[in-house]
Amino acid sequence: MSVIYPFHIAIPVYNLEECRTFYRDVLNCEEGRSSNHWVDFNLFGHQLVIHYKPKSEDILHTNAVDGKSVPVPHYGVVLSWHIFQEFSELLKNKGVHFIIEPYIRFEGEVGEQATMFFLDPAGNALEFKAFKDIHQLFAK
């Protein structure tokens, strides 16, 4: 059996304070260390760091997956089914605008999963998902 360790991801934001508020107050991430140019967060046990970077004029790219336009790049966490349901309700209650509303992707197929997509205030795309059967995570 392998041990799963937390991942570390650092993402660019052009509006450090607005994103700090979003991750702390909307997503309920515990804030860790910080400086004038970056802030650490606990994102479901993983280390997410937002780093200041001047605003880019890049346009959001998407690829079709299960009939939806999935933003690329994106990042997120695979949650338990129960936590996904609670988290999606929390986000709805906080007025988060979804790019892809929470729904069941690949329903009745290998890899069936609950998923949702939204943007942070800097335009970074986030996906959170859950599997009723976690063994389907890497199923072909």
Which residues are registered as beta bridge partners of 71?
62
CA gap 21, 12 in Å, rounded: 15
**Mean pLDDT for each consecutive 10-residue tract of the chain (140 residues)?**
87 98 98 97 98 91 93 95 97 97 93 96 97 89
What would you report as the CA-atom Rg of the chain, rounded to the nearest whole angstrom?
15
Residue 2 lies in a domain: no
* Matching residue, tokens 């650490």: 40
Residue 19 lies in a domain: yes
Query: Which pLDDT does position 60 carry in this prediction?
Result: 87
Total structural domains within the chain: 1
Q: Report pTM.
A: 0.92
Q: What is the CATH classification number for the domain harbouring 71?
A: 3.10.180.10
What's the pLDDT tens digit per position in 72-86? 999 999 999 999 999
Residue 26 lies in a domain: yes
What's the pLDDT tens digit per position in 9-22? 999 999 999 999 99
